[in-house]
Structure 1
């Protein structure tokens, strides 16, 4: 069972929690992280979602909901460790975008880490991720244009232009 801290529309923690999978009340929010990893060549690490998840077989950055007691950075580091078996250095990451998404009842925090990850060393979490690869920014844009990325990631091209 996964438990989330609940925040109000101004991102103030309410002191209440929520169990994942249950309907979330109107006006309640939780925090979701998207973690983008860029290597020294400027390539971006993307992962392919499991076919049994929402947006099956589409590509994205690693991520998910932070759990009760975590902050956004801690959640980002944990999600990457769980989903691809990589330990990132918190010093190599920065929060580059945070968006309140009323339709999803969440705050989506985008983290950008600059790290060289050898994908031969990753350990994919079988129920979450089925593939991983490095792509150039041009390839990432082409993936989005051809509907190979999760559709909510329409901002990625601008994200990487701003953070180079």
Structure 2
């Protein structure tokens, strides 16, 4: 199997013109770009997916997302991952870019998108070896999940960004 190459970005999210092999450690000041989608339905419930037990942070809950491929924008990656992981396609007018989270220790930048899109959990097509379950949850549910350490630390940060955005009256 060929090792996947990914672009290297600056802290400001600019392409450097260099690449690295996925899974290798980046040099200080170099970053990988990923994207995540916070999917919200008409009742202000969030869609979370549960990670496969064999993956890092297995069985924890998260928002859909993943690495930005070479030549791909974070927007394209976010919605490619949403489709690959759970079989959901959203329209551009249903989505908003709400910010970037930087994880210095992981050399990771994550562009976060918010999508208002009603979806039935029963209609989802879960990607084998990636996602084992999905559910809709309220803000209070996510807070309880955080207390019980059932959501990834990183996805808690994504939730906080989305929650702050929504509290400011944005939609």
TM-score, structure 2 normalization: 0.89
2:28 aligns to what?
26
1:162 aligns to what?
165
In structure 2, the residue corresponding to 1:154 is in which secondary structure? helix
2:37 aligns to what?
35
Q: Gaps spanning 5+ residues in structure 2: where? A: none
Q: Shift in Å at residue 30 of structure 1?
A: 1.4
Number of residues of Structure 1 aligned to a counterpart in Structure 2: 164
| Aligned partner of 1:7 among 6, 9, 34 | 9
Q: Gaps spanning 5+ residues in structure 1: where? A: none
Question: 2:33, 2:68 within 8 Å by CA — same for their partners in 1?
Answer: yes
In structure 2, the residue corresponding to 1:91 is in which secondary structure? helix
Which is further off, 85-94 or 61-70?
85-94
In structure 2, the residue corresponding to 1:133 is in which secondary structure? strand
Q: CA RMSD in A?
A: 1.5
Match status 1:49 vs 2:51: yes
CA offsets, 1:88-121, max 9 Å, x none?
1122111112122211111111111000012222
- In the aligned structure 2, how far is the partner of 1:105 from the partner of 1:50? 24
Question: 1:137, 1:157 within 8 Å by CA — same for their partners in 2?
Answer: no
